[in-house]
Amino acid sequence: MAQLTAVLDALKRSQITASQFILSILTQHQYNEHPVVRDLLLHSPDILTAFLRHSRRNHELLQCSTRFVQDSYLRELREVASKDSGWHFGALSALEP
């Protein structure tokens, strides 16, 4: 794996960790169309699976993922339930069966 060693050496020479590199390239908008970002996004399910299979931190990642999904659902429910969406439900408009 000489290529992997070269990448790890380049990160070390640049004094940047792998996590700093990934977080920076994914959060700085000027890199949105960069091939590395496209590749990370394309393979994100595989990357998350690899993280979950890693025995050291999988419980924390699972908890974080669960919170993320719950927050996403909550945001979606609030949006759908808002008056602006046209689907607002109120007790005054409910009918008894």
For 50-86, write each residue's pLDDT tens digit: 888 876 777 888 888 899 899 999 998 888 777 776 6
Q: To the nearest 10°, the Cα dihedral for 89, 92, 93, 95?
A: 120
Would the pLDDT of 90 be above 80?
no
SS3 (DSSP) at 86: coil
Question: What residue has token string 């393979």?
Answer: 43
Would you state the structure tokens that stand for residue 65, as one six-digit string?
Answer: 């993922």
Q: Supply the mean pLDDT for the chain.
A: 86
Model pLDDT, residue 78: 84
Q: What sections of the chain are H helices per DSSP?
A: 2-13, 18-27, 35-42, 44-53, 58-81
Closest CA to 39 of 30, 50, 47: 47
DSSP 15: T
Residue 61's Cβ-count burial label (10 Å; 0-12, 13-18, 19+) is middle
Under 8 Å between Cβ of 77 and 89: no
